[in-house]
Structure 1
Amino acid sequence: MHNLARSRKGGFAVFKIGEFSKLTQVSIRMLRYYDETGLLKPARIDNDSGYRYYSVEQISLLHKIIFLRDTGFTVSEIALAISNWESCFVTRQLRDKRQEIVYGIRKEQEKLKKIEMALRDIHADNMAVHCNVTLKSVPSYKVLSLRRIIPDYFSEGSLWMELTRYIEAEGLAIPQSSKTFAVYHDKDFKERDVDVEVCVVVDEVLRKSSDGFTFHETEQIDTMACALVDGPYENIGSAFLALARWLHLHEQYSMVGLNRQICHKGPWNEENPECYLTEIQIPVVKQK
């Protein structure tokens, strides 16, 4: 009772920073950091001694800060959430953070897969998957396509699902054996917000385009450099490496147009990723 009475400032009980640190299990260093960043200012600062004092009422605010910090929020994000602590706003913020964390986990899992592949290939003395490059002509196709900006290349599956749902909802008579391929519209490689178009070949242009779903004819490609790659999608980089080496050896050819990708075997018709079969196509032209 003696200490509590001595720590009363301005009519309410406060604790010195060391006492507050013990009671909340937060280090003095972090409390000072939260003070410097404006997240948690002391309830009182003694003008003579400079001592920081904290109130019981501030404990709940500190718990919110720690929770947000431990779930990956930055200082600026914490400040925004604290100043708008309504259920709807915080719910949106948490959902956005969850999506960000899920994306980060997926990128880390991709790194682990690459490490496992490298370890496997080192023992097999085979650090690269070798792909043969062939040239062929690709005709014009009548297609139903869906083009969207998606978060990354691994999100392409969502486009195929959306296209499939549209075909089913419209009752379109498109055989499952129809050719399918993806076209990549970005001029260079991008890690985020990629421009991808997925296409399914149709017998005829059936109706007008709507809501991103388009019936049109693709251009004929006189010379397409193609590389097939076996195994999971992580191996696709090897196909591009093979194409780069082929272009280096055949300097009379140069890249033009938009590259395509055909998944001959994928998760829809093959359970084992090691048996996937993917074809990368890059239009080329022979210099005169």
Structure 2
Amino acid sequence: MFTIGDFARHGRVSVRMLRHYDAVGLLRPAHVDPFSGYRFYEAGQLARLNRVIALKDLGFTLDQVRSIVDDEVGADELRGMLRLRRAELEEAVAAATARLGQVEARLRAIESEGHMSTHDVVVKSLPAVRLAELSAVAASYQPTDIGPVVGSLYQELCARLEAAGVTGFGPALTYYEDAPDGDGAVRAHAGMIVPPGATAPDVDFVELPPVERAATVIHRGPMEDVVSTYQTLTAWTAAHGHRSTGYARELYLESPDDRTRWVTELQEPLAD
């Protein structure tokens, strides 16, 4: 028999944890001295302790662990619990990966602040374009809210155009407007420039009129990093006494699979 201290050392847990397992009925001592109250454990109980630790490390609650180690959970139910836990962990990893990407994008934005010369801004006219488009509302104008919405819109739009036999389309152009319900939400219009006469079911076709004057700047890299480039465009517009007419357009000049090599022209129409 082992004292609680010795058993804790062999099991690589704390004495406090063993007392807690005893209190909740998860791992009772093999013997408790009636006079001193000292707890004693048998070597065979290490196997149960190891199962408890392994199941806890998988993220199961103590109630779930007790049901499993007491054989109250059948094999099929256990497989289901493990699959559910796997799905929860995959979702947590995806969420953490997304947050890591946001942190890295913000760091890049901070490091590049003031590094882009406002001399890179060019004022020019924009021709009229015919777009095949789909639109949806994003919760805000932040890249983290815009990106998933625009990405899914373009996937669906390209699939519908290809199914309709529309060829020769591109490049892609996204433009924005305030969503009717307000509260910071925006409606994103994901469009492909298409030739005259192109049609496809369940796709909207619009004519964007020409723009006499627009401030434009080239953004290189993923759109998650676009904030600093937008800030450069905004600073230039304000410094030169111009007024924007709304949200800037995004013309995707090059969009390979490697998003770090994307080339996007931001186009901000000027009111004066």
Map 1:1-288 to 2 at 5 A.
3=1, 16=4, 18-28=5-15, 43=28, 57-68=48-59, 78=61, 86-105=78-97, 107-108=99-100, 111=103, 128-130=115-117, 131-134=120-123, 136-137=125-126, 139=128, 141-145=130-134, 147=136, 152-155=145-148, 156-157=150-151, 159-168=153-162, 170-176=163-169, 178-184=170-176, 196-202=188-194, 203-204=196-197, 206-209=199-202, 214-217=203-206, 220=209, 222=211, 225-233=214-222, 236-251=226-241, 253-256=243-246, 258-267=247-256, 273=260, 276-286=262-272
Secondary structure (helix, strand or coil) at the match of 2:115 reads coil
Deviation at 1:175, TM superposition (A): 0.6
1:219-261 per-position Cα deviation (integer Å, ceiling 9, x unaligned)? 54756744322532265233211122123224551452x4431
Secondary structure (helix, strand or coil) at the match of 1:141 reads strand
Residues 133 and 246 of structure 1 are in contact (CA less than 8 Å); yes or no, is this contact kept in structure 2? no
**CA 167–208 in structure 1, closer or farther in 2 if over 3 Å, else same:** closer
2:171 corresponds to which letter in structure 1? Answer: K
Secondary structure (helix, strand or coil) at the match of 2:116 reads coil
**RMSD of aligned Cα (Å):** 4.8
**CA 143–24 in structure 1, closer or farther in 2 if over 3 Å, else same:** same
Name the TM-score, length of structure 2 as normaliser.
Answer: 0.62
CA distance in 2, matches of 1:183, 1:263: 11
1:83-114 per-position Cα deviation (integer Å, ceiling 9, x unaligned)? 89643354244234224324423543565577
Unaligned runs of 5+ in 1: 5-14, 69-76
1:117-175 per-position Cα deviation (integer Å, ceiling 9, x unaligned)? 988x7xxxx9522331425356363413264769755545454344333333x242221
1:60 corresponds to which letter in structure 2? Answer: R
Deviation at 1:284, TM superposition (A): 4.8
Deviation at 1:215, TM superposition (A): 1.7
Residues 179 and 201 of structure 1 are in contact (CA less than 8 Å); yes or no, is this contact kept in structure 2? yes
CA distance in 1, matches of 2:95, 2:161: 29
Unaligned runs of 5+ in 2: 68-72
**CA 252–60 in structure 1, closer or farther in 2 if over 3 Å, else same:** same
Residues 136 and 224 of structure 1 are in contact (CA less than 8 Å); yes or no, is this contact kept in structure 2? yes
**CA 26–249 in structure 1, closer or farther in 2 if over 3 Å, else same:** same
Percent same amino acid at aligned positions? 17
**CA 230–283 in structure 1, closer or farther in 2 if over 3 Å, else same:** closer
Residues 215 and 237 of structure 2 are in contact (CA less than 8 Å); yes or no, is this contact kept in structure 1? no
Aligned residue pairs, count: 246
CA distance in 2, matches of 1:81, 1:194: 44
CA distance in 2, matches of 1:79, 1:29: 15
Deviation at 1:264, TM superposition (A): 0.4
1:24 corresponds to which letter in structure 2? Answer: G
Secondary structure (helix, strand or coil) at the match of 2:167 reads coil
Secondary structure (helix, strand or coil) at the match of 2:205 reads strand
Secondary structure (helix, strand or coil) at the match of 1:173 reads coil
CA distance in 2, matches of 1:33, 1:251: 69
